[in-house]
Amino acid sequence: MKIKTLIIATLGCYTGLQAQVKKDYPIQPVAFTQVQVTDNFWAPKIRVNAEVTIPYTLEQCRKTGRIDNFRRAAHSIPGDSMTEYTFDDTDLYKVIEGASYGLQVKKNPELEQYLDSLIAIIGAAQEKDGYLYTFRTVNASHPHAWIGSKRWELEEDLSHELYNAGHLYEAAVAHYQATGKKSLLNIATRNADLLVKTFGYGKEEKWPGHQIVETGLTKLYRVTGDTAYLHLAKFFLDVRGPGSPYSGEYNQSFTKVVDQHEAKGHAVRATYMYTGMADVAALTGDQQYLHAIDDIWNDVVKKKLYITGGIGATGNGEAFGQAYELPNMSAYAETCAAIANVYWNSRMFLLHGDAKYIDVLERTLYNGLLSGVSLSGDRFFYPNPLASMGQHQRSAWFGCACCISNMTRFLPSMPGYIYAQNQNNLYINLFAGNTARINLPAGPVMIQQITNYPWDGNINIVVAPVKVTTTVTTANANTTTTTETTSAETMKFALHIRIPEWAKGVPVPGDLYYDADSAKLKKYTILLNGQPAVYKMEKGYAVIQRTWQSGDKVSLSFPMSVQKIMANNKVDADKKRFALERGPIMYCLEGPDNKDATVQNIVVNKNAKVSPVYKSDLLNGVTVLEMDGSSSSRQLNTNALITSTQTVTAIPYYAWANRGPSEMAVWIPYESSAARPKPAPTIASKATVSASIKNKRMFMALNDQYDPVDAHDNAALYLHWWPKKDTLEWVQYDFDQAYTISSSKVYWYDDGPFGGCRIPASWKLYYKKGDEWIPVVNKTPYEVVKDKYNSVTFEPVNTTALRLEVLLPKDNSSGIHEWSVQ
């Protein structure tokens, strides 16, 4: 069944149908069912997710065989050929979770019926004792190499049994809270009960390599009240550590979790674990967890956070890098990691009540997270780099689709992060046009935000205590009396309004980034009913404590000056560069808006005036930044540069790559030495590339004229043949006309010792003569050396095409950074 219509979904954290728990976060989020987003920024994005992304992802789950995984495991269809990855089951779970959030806001019988059919398919694949893992239950004749020979054999580095379970639990809770049906919840609790029987001290003392089951178990605990789920979540955290063949930094098991004080390893696994630690700390009161994640948070924010809020500097293990290691072109900054960063910072706020966590959350939300999905809702990024030469394109789907399904379930959640409460303290954390009904101990109150944020810094907050009429009927032997009591339209409570640190010229806590002109920023203002408000500052919040009357209006005005952000000098990648920020939005230069579709060659003076201009017809309506700058280009046979002035235009970072592949840069050079002049055209750069691989995105690496620093320079583009080994491969240039050539050089890509590419066993050149390929007569030997250009000269030939044949080494693949011809 293809879902044609889905509803606009809004999500918070939890609502209704929830068991009482003894301890929890001191601050609680306001449920998404109480918040209706009405603005021109988030409401359309949530609608596109509901109407396009969720149906699209459900259909992709069907087309790619993810639903058939469950059918095959249940033996309701023949065959045992499964999809590519052992965690593919989670894509279906996550889309069910996102779709369920929609059902909590608005009934949709068609969608609910379709989810019922999917849940029945999932249930049929579950074994009698509760075990649910399609890749094992299918009992394939040739089992996937990651699953091991028996249950729980691998500590989840590859098998993902427990990772799958965690996403199942989260989907089950969302579906139960949406519909009141226990169909998926029963599947989840049967599986969780099996885990409780299986794991624990004196039983299976193993931990999940990819964390998420911890937060899934705490959600089950909140709904069911079964403390065994909470105890198991804590066990999985406490048992994690050294002593296993799989222990190490990659999966955060290099030491006990309470002894970790720096962010290391796979960024998504790490932040899911930190989120789970926060949940368990809140529910159990374990202070050791708090001390650990407090230290880790400081390490991330002060040393390992991209200005976009992205985390994970390297594709080698999708991991955090070293302190201040924040490359731009090769930034990994996975979409899943951005989502997990929001989850984690939200929990840190609920624990501590400090606005600094929401500052990081907001930065991530508007930039490094939102960039993960196209404006159309059906194209996606896995990594979110901060610079590109055109090699990065949004994809319709990935074999590993975790980021797509994660975005699908996350985007509806945005309204759940706007408000929070603690007794009669009401927090306004995010700014977006919305109306909300919030139940405080003092009584219900309506809050309305009227704003064009993030394009405008003016926000009006209208407060309206709700008039409540209570009817009490009493009876005695002779008479019945009915009394109606109407509460006054006043209410005493404290309104905590976050004052964003960007409004004070502070991008993030610490000194990783700073505003070069913060002293020139205008001060924000807060008015109450048109007069200066009386408030006190607490942990980054302006606190207004008073007896509120219906119609009271708080007016905020945040300066929306353009800020030039500088990086700590320890960040090598950002030296002699600045980034542009306006409000919560980070900006980038992109090819379509600038001269010659080139941005790597642009230089802008640090003192240049920057003008914001709203363009309703561009990228669904955005404020762009315009400034004067210059660009340079090289000429053939000379080191002299041609420099010209131009108007430079920057667009919001989240909106880049919606007009096809192009150059992009977040960090803008203010000194010419940091820019890359546009190369002069060469025989190779004008040639058409072909190769013995299908991925044409890699072709431009051969002739982009970018000289790598070394063989493992991931900031430079490269073409590779991985995972092929010991085969004869080729790349080819078809020239724009016949040329006489006599030399060539190639720079090999080699990501040893950990990657799969090494310099080749040998290489050879052939030129085209008629319809034949003739080997050149080389005058010098074919070099095969790492970390330098390997050159060869040969007797001159006149030809229209040149082919380079590569013999891959026996035990590895090979790759090429650059191939030039003279």
- Which CATH number is 710's domain given? 2.60.120.260
Cβ–Cβ < 8 Å for 82, 136: no
Q: Do 698 and 667 fall into the same domain?
A: no
Q: What is the pLDDT of residue 476?
A: 61
11 within some domain: no
Write out pLDDT tens, residues 636-683. 777 778 899 999 999 999 999 999 989 999 999 999 999 999 888 999
The three-class DSSP label of residue 485 is: strand
762 within some domain: yes
| Element housing 228 (H / E) | helix 227-238
Cβ–Cβ < 8 Å for 526, 556: yes
- Better pLDDT: 148 or 462: 462
494 closest CA partner among 544, 548, 549, 563:
544
Q: Do 478 and 404 fall into the same domain?
A: no
**Is the per-residue pLDDT at 428 higher than 80?**
yes
Number of Cα atoms under 13 Å in the Cβ half of residue 398:
21
**Which residues lie closer than 8 Å to 531 by C-beta, 6 or more apart?**
none
Q: What is the pLDDT of residue 315?
A: 85
Confidence band, pLDDT 50/70/90 cuts, at residue 17: low
In angstroms, the CA 44 to CA 195 distance is 41
592 within some domain: yes
Unique residue bearing structure tokens 């802008």: 604
Domain boundary pick from 417, 446, 480: 417
Q: Do 434 and 412 fall into the same domain?
A: no
Write out pLDDT tens, residues 760-787. 999 999 999 999 999 999 999 999 999 9
Cα distances from 134 to residues 67, 197, 406, 733, in angstroms, run: 10, 20, 20, 46
681 within some domain: no
Query: Phi and psi for 768 in degrees, rounded to 5?
Result: -90, 130
CATH number (domain holding residue 446) = 2.60.40
Domain boundary pick from 674, 703, 733: 674
Backbone conformation region of residue 364, classed left if phi is above 0, alpha if psi is from -120 to 50, else beta: alpha
Confidence band, pLDDT 50/70/90 cuts, at residue 521: confident
Structure token digits, residue 227: 């403390």
Write out pLDDT tens, residues 364-421. 999 999 999 999 999 999 999 999 998 888 999 999 999 999 999 999 889 999 999 9
**Is the per-residue pLDDT at 807 higher than 70?**
yes
Structure token digits, residue 807: 């013999």
Bridge partners of 28, per DSSP, are 421
In angstroms, the CA 684 to CA 627 distance is 34
Residue-number span of the structural domain to which 363 is assigned: 28-417
Backbone conformation region of residue 420, classed left if phi is above 0, alpha if psi is from -120 to 50, else beta: beta
Secondary structure letter of residue 390 according to DSSP = S
12 within some domain: no
Q: Do 87 and 188 fall into the same domain?
A: yes
pLDDT average, residue stretch 262-276: 97
Q: Do 267 and 370 fall into the same domain?
A: yes
251 closest CA partner among 270, 237, 234, 232:
270
Cβ–Cβ < 8 Å for 721, 710: no
**Is the per-residue pLDDT at 483 higher than 70?**
no
Q: Do 615 and 757 fall into the same domain?
A: no
Q: What is the pLDDT of residue 472?
A: 58
Q: Do 592 and 552 fall into the same domain?
A: no
Confidence band, pLDDT 50/70/90 cuts, at residue 156: low
Domain boundary pick from 497, 526, 557: 557
Q: Do 698 and 816 fall into the same domain?
A: yes
Structure token digits, residue 809: 């080494």
15 within some domain: no
The three-class DSSP label of residue 401 is: coil
Confidence band, pLDDT 50/70/90 cuts, at residue 488: low
Q: Do 124 and 273 fall into the same domain?
A: yes
Domains in the chain, number:
4
380 within some domain: yes
Q: Do 296 and 155 fall into the same domain?
A: yes
CATH number (domain holding residue 313) = 1.50.10
- Range list of H helices, 255-352: 267-284, 287-303, 335-352
Q: Do 268 and 336 fall into the same domain?
A: yes
Q: Do 411 and 452 fall into the same domain?
A: no
Long-range contacts of range 185-188, CB-CB < 8 Å, 24 or more positions apart?
185/223, 187/119, 187/122, 187/123, 187/126, 187/132, 188/220
479 within some domain: yes
At residue 610, what is the residue type?
V
